[in-house]
């Protein structure tokens, strides 16, 4: 068996599994030059013996798909089924790039696919990303442990929530209460969402099917939340700790429902887009679930691991595609998309201010480090912002949630970009660790004085184009990124924004996108291309502008980072 090299604290060890000696050597050399310790195995079975004997020894596995004795897919399945190894990131290399194979791998929990022949640069960057996520997960597990120490002190507590977003946030926080309990966050968020949607807002099963089909679901939730008959309704969760269990008692102010129909997945609803949440939560997330009375109160119980308590039955293992991690990532992705302005918000904004705002948000991995948003101020003014955190993946994504929370709570000075940015920076400097920061542009469009006033922190230059003359004015994006120095002060800048103008903001991934000749589009390139893209007057929304700019040289330019852009159109008569 291979000797496992010793690594210093914080060092990283990678297992290379490949039947071809040449490939193993190539990877070994490239990885050790980048400072990683490596161990090799020549087939799946040897690798499995190694992993089984020393499950904590590795941070990432580079796995070939086709091998004798045990192939890559078989090994992957074993890894994902093993509690000690299931979160270990696996990077699969394959000569076959058929969609079926790739889908099969993704479902089985592949972190990333690398096509053969290998591009070493790409391989190193993927490995670095996998190492990062692995370390983040370890840190989060530590954090969870620390938080739960505080929450284990809670004997009883009552929390109130009104919106599905508040429910989700609460679910994340309360999941800390039972460390180690499987899928608790997912289960709580399911039950909390139900309490709001089907309880307080009285949306029936068939109604939901129809709304989902017509893609009006989230708009309808937002609408009902403002109606006088529902606006005052709150849901509550009472947390009760007993010797051997924790009860979550969730109550809503709705009329209740025929809960018996939903405790198991009914064949009639097997192919329906929804209606499985309660059954799923019951099977996978809680040890007991009991509805009371007419169904607007439910007690969800999790047994805590004490010496005396034995839960009546062990909940079956989760059966989501690709395991829990994929499920959490999908949830994280949905939650992140939920941070962005909804179509309804933008439509209302247009109705009120006659400014048409649109955005593009393309994370380069499951979740992204960019965020954009709008804050309606009054009939003449709206604040628009775009932020881009350093790095990619989960670390950067968590920071977008931090920023979003800050912005939702910091109401003062929202109409004064420089002051607002100075305050945001002070807070971010307190929150972000060394080496992490955020590039940002925050500005206010004011139609009364026809100006875009903004503050910038290492952002791409804001562009304003006159729609009739096609002339582009470029602003200044210079400024210390947020989160580095608490004493940084930002200055106000402005661009003229008369009727018949288009404002365009973008994250640097657009300028850094590389064309077929490997040249980046560049910031001057974006400013030069913008008027050409709106030539025929049709491309005046963020999605088509970004598409057009990326395709401007015939081929699609390659984007290597999270890409976000925001476009604000002021009509000639607006």
Partner 1 sequence: MKYQITDSNGRRTLAFRGQLTFADRTALDPVISQALAGGVRELDVDLEALDYMDSAGLGMLLTLRDRAGKSGAQVRLAKPRGDVKELLSLACFDTLFAIES
Residues of this chain that interact with partner 1 (CB under 8 A) are: 10, 12, 34-36, 121, 124-125, 128-129, 131-132, 388, 390-392, 434-437, 439, 458, 477-481, 484-485, 488, 508, 512, 561
Cα separation of 463 and 472, whole Å? Answer: 7
Q: Strand 235-241 and strand 245-251: pairing?
A: antiparallel
Minimum CB–partner distance for residue 478 and partner 1 (Å): 6
Minimal distance, residue 508 CB to partner 1, in Å: 7
Nearer to partner 1, 35 or 293 (CB): 35
Closer residue to partner 1 in complex, CB, 373/479: 479
Backbone angles phi, psi at 201, to 5 degrees: -95, 0
In the complex, least distance from residue 129 CB atom to partner 1, rounded to whole angstroms: 8
Beta carbons of 244 and 308 less than 8 angstroms apart: yes
Q: Closer to partner 1 at the Cβ: 265 or 488? A: 488
Judged by beta carbon, residue 123 or residue 542, the one nearer partner 1 is 123
> Which of residues 13 and 241 has its CB atom nearest to partner 1 in the complex?
13
Residue partners of 39: CB distance under 8 A and separation at least 6: 2, 3, 4, 5, 13, 14, 15, 16, 50, 57, 58
Nearest approach in angstroms of CB 327 to partner 1 is: 27
Q: How far is the CB of 487 from partner 1 (least distance, A)?
A: 10
- What CA–CA distance (Å, rounded) separates 362 from 562? 6
Residue 160's DSSP bridge partners are: 236
Calculate the alpha carbon distances from 218 to 256, 274, 345 in Å.
21, 14, 11
| CA dist., res. 191 & res. 187, Å (int) | 6
DSSP string, 461-474: PPEEEETTT--EEE
In the bound state with partner 1, the residue whose beta carbon lies nearer, of 46 and 364, is: 364
| Closer residue to partner 1, CB minimum distance, 4 or 480 | 480
Burial of 150 (0-12, 13-18, 19+ CB in 10 A): exposed
Report, in Å, the least distance between residue 264 CB and partner 1.
Answer: 47
Q: Which is nearer to partner 1, 201 or 526 (CB)?
A: 526
Q: Which is nearer to partner 1, 13 or 381 (CB)?
A: 13
Q: Which among 217, 250, 210 has a CA at the least distance from the CA of 334?
A: 217
Asked if residue 424 lies in contact with residue 488, where contact means CB atoms within 8 angstroms, the answer is no
514 vs 247, 248, 556, 562, CA distance in Å? 54, 52, 9, 14
CB of 124 to partner 1, least distance (A): 5
- In whole angstroms, the minimum distance from the beta carbon of 458 to partner 1 comes to 4
| Of the candidates 329, 325, 365, the residue with the CA atom closest to the CA atom of residue 79 | 325
Query: CB atoms < 10 A from the CB of 93, how many?
Result: 23
> Is the separation of the CB atoms in 153 and 179 below 8 Å?
no
Cα radius of gyration (the chain): 26
Strand order in the sheet with 37-41: 37-41, 13-17, 60-64, 90-94, 112-115
**Distance in Å, CB of 391 to partner 1, minimum:** 6
Q: Least CB distance from residue 493 to partner 1, whole Å? A: 14
Nearer to partner 1, 196 or 371 (CB): 371
């Amino acid at each position: 068996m291979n000797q496992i090299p010793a690594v210093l604290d914080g060092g990283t060890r990678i297992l290379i599994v490949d039947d071809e000696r040449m490939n193993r050597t190539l990877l070994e050399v490239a990885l050790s030059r980048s400072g990683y310790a490596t161990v090799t195995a020549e087939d799946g079975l040897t690798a499995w013996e190694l992993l089984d004997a020393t499950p904590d020894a590795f941070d990432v596995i580079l796995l070939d798909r086709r091998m004798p004795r045990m192939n890559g897919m078989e090994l992957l399945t074993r890894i994902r089924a093993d509690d000690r190894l299931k979160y270990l990131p696996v990077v699969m290399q394959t000569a076959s790039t058929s969609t079926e194979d790739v889908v099969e791998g993704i479902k089985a929990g592949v972190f990333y696919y690398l096509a053969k022949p290998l591009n070493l640069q790409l391989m190193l960057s993927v490995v670095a990303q996998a190492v990062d996520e692995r370390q983040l997960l370890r840190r989060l597990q530590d954090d969870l442990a620390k938080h739960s120490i505080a929450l284990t002190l809670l004997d009883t507590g009552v929390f109130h929530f009104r919106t599905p977003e508040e429910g989700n946030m609460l679910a994340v926080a309360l999941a800390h209460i039972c460390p180690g309990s499987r899928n608790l966050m997912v289960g709580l968020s399911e039950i909390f969402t139900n309490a709001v949607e089907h309880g307080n807002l009285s949306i029936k099963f068939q109604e939901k099917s129809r709304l989902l089909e017509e893609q009006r679901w989230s708009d309808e939730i937002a609408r009902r939340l403002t109606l006088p008959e529902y606006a005052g309704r709150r849901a509550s969760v009472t947390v009760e700790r007993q010797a051997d269990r924790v009860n979550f008692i969730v109550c809503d102010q709705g009329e209740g429902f025929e809960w018996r129909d939903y405790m198991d997945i009914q064949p009639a609803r097997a192919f329906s887009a929804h209606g499985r949440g309660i059954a799923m939560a019951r099977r996978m997330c809680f040890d007991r679930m009991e509805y009371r009375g007419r169904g607007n109160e439910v007690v969800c119980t999790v047994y805590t691991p004490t010496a005396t308590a034995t839960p009546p039955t062990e909940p079956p293992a989760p059966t989501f595609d690709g395991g829990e991690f994929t499920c959490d990532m999908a949830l994280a992705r949905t939650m992140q998309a939920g941070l962005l302005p909804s179509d309804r918000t933008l439509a209302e904004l247009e109705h009120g201010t006659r400014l048409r705002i649109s955005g593009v948000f393309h994370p380069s991995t499951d979740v992204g480090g960019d965020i954009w948003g709008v804050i309606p101020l009054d009939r003449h003014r709206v604040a628009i912002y775009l932020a881009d955190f350093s790095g990619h993946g989960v670390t950067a994504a968590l920071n977008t949630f931090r920023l979003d929370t800050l912005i939702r709570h910091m109401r003062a000075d929202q109409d004064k970009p420089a002051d607002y940015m100075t305050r945001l920076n002070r807070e971010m400097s307190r929150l972000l660790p060394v080496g992490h920061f955020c590039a940002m542009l925050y500005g206010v469009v004011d139609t009364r004085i026809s100006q875009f006033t903004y503050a910038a922190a290492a952002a791409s230059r804001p562009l304003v184009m006159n729609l009739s003359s096609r002339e582009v004015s470029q602003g200044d994006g210079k400024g210390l990124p947020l989160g580095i120095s608490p004493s940084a002060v930002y200055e106000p800048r402005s661009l003229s924004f008369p009727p018949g103008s288009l404002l365009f903001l973008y994250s640097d991934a657009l300028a850094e996108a590389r064309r077929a000749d490997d040249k980046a589009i560049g910031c001057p390139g974006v400013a030069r291309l913008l008027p050409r893209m709106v030539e025929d007057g049709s491309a005046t929304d963020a999605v088509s502008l970004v598409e057009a700019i990326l395709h401007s040289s015939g081929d699609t330019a390659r984007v290597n980072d999270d890409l976000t852009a925001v476009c604000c159109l002021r009509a000639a008569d607006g």
